[in-house]
Structure 1
């Protein structure tokens, strides 16, 4: 009988140890789940902050691009004020170059122009816009 009591007591202790072990494993699973949730929140927050920074950079660079465009127009106006023979101006921080532009020709009277005998000497015919 004493031996049977000890066996029952031993079985009871083993069952309680298993229950404790299962409870500990369950707590570990709960902690892993909590940590994974925290990781997801961190990544989501980082993505939101990345989007905010990207929008800020786009907005800031748009303002700077507007400034570049404005300054470029000032340089273009400066070059247009120079003599037509001036093609390049060398400066400490770069060069100003005049672009070669196609001269624009407008025809006042298209019929008279087309009757011209020298019309065959044209090497290319552009689109005509009658005034």
Structure 2
């Protein structure tokens, strides 16, 4: 770009002089991680995110199976599917089994989700 501008006759002498000066790139102030440090960071991150990723993947698979009718109505797998469906529809998990069902989730499922019902399915979701 500088070469094109220097040839332009409309360019003032001061501008031509400024363009002719070489501008040095600033020296880097950041230092990269050593390979061993970077590998350690990556390994730690993989360990931290593996379990949540697997839970999310399993819950997404369970929800898809529930939506296809794969579980008998009323069983623990069905209740977890209903809880996941409520979470997917409303963005909130039912947490108070005694509260009215504002999100449209059944009382049996709310009890199951909160751990006060026949099982504690909610503990495996988060």
TM-score between the two structures when normalised by the length of structure 1: 0.27
Higher helix share: 1
Bigger relative contact order, structure 1 or 2, given CA contacts below 8 A and separation 6+? Answer: 2
Higher strand share: 1
